[in-house]
Structure 1
Amino acid sequence: MSRISVRGFAVASATAVTAVGSVVGVASGSTAQNNDAEAAAADLTLLADIPAGQQAQVQTTSLTQQAETQAIAADTTAKKDAEEAARKAAAESAVAKKEAAEQAAQEAKERAEAEEAASRSATRDASDFTPQSSYSIGEIQSMAQSMVASDQYQCFSNIVDHESSWNYQAVNASSGAYGLFQALPGSKMSSAGSDWQTNPATQIKWGLSYMNDRYGSPCDAWSFWQANNWY
């Protein structure tokens, strides 16, 4: 039954009740019964104005909207939680990668230092070589390679190349500088051995000690040589 038909039925019923009440009231001479009839008709009219089906529909729509709102809020919260968890995981991953890289770098440094120490400890001394009556450039260079740390040898070699071209008996005609390193005077090499004039191993020992003591290393000595053309 539609709202219009219900209202129509209610109005018709109220009219009928009012009419009956009026007749009865006139016949009996009672105004109270007439008033009761009119109140009943008014109540029926008010009830007719409230469509039950529409109220149910409004309530259902309201509940649906509330559920949708709650679902949206829950979805938003879930997304925020997921984003926060992702940011936290990314930050933890970045920290872990940084720590791993730092550890790898430290381990590489320690390995390099260990290799350098091993290289230095493996170097030979001048006394390890049996003196000869003469030496070729190749033999002298081989001596130097076994006495100088591998990471310093090229710098060491560069200096000898420029000073004497690996001639352990080279003499500077004007100054008297002598040997592989053109020591001046040459006799200062006696601190490494009395055979400094004839033994390139003794000269190498002295030259390496001189570079380390004065400059810190052969490569530091070579850097100075490049800037000044002497060392």
Structure 2
Amino acid sequence: MIRSVLVFTRSSSAGARSTRTRGVLSGLSLLAAAGFVLVSVAADPTQQVMAEPASLPSENRPGQDLGEITGEQASLVRDEIVVHTPTPTPTPTPEPEPAAAAEASSSGQQAASISIPAVAAPNPGSAQEIARQMVLSRGWGEGQYSCLYSLWQRESNWNVYAQNSSSGAYGIPQALPGSKMATHGGDWQTNPVTQISWGLDYIAGRYGTPCGAWGHSEQVGWY
């Protein structure tokens, strides 16, 4: 730091000294002050003269519009700018209601529509008449008998002794093996009532109704 310089001058008592003497003293005082400053600077090497800050480059001026920047400055500015684009939140797909899902599943599992064939009235005492009475007693109706008639007409032609030479299926309902019908009577090989009774129980347990069994047979050729 610059040390202050005190200059002591002697004052004359009564009269002032000549103008020449004051000029000499003043000149000597200035020289002494200058010399003192130089000595102070030399003695304090850490002292530095602060330079006026240089003006900022045009690209660093606050508030400058990016439209004024071109060339290399523009490329530098673009490199330093990070644009954060918010990632859109995907809209979740709503899950189907349980009732709707069950309905769709049920619709996909529905079998093809069943065409119920027309059937003539059976002869009294025939196997067809016995089967018809058993069907009606279960509350299934005439339409279910029509399906049953068509089903067993395809399987055995209503022949109580029909036997499949390759599989061994036997009787009107073509039980496989035929001995299964023994649960409904020991005369399963010759009695149409025993065979029909077993056949209706089998259909009810596996397909629900004769038309259910007929619809399956229409699709795959067997029941």
Q: Which TM-score tier does this pair reach, normalised by the shorter chain?
A: 0.3 to 0.5
> When the two structures are superposed, what TM-score results if normalisation uses the length of structure 2?
0.41
More helix by share: 1
What is the TM-score with the length of structure 1 in the denominator?
0.40
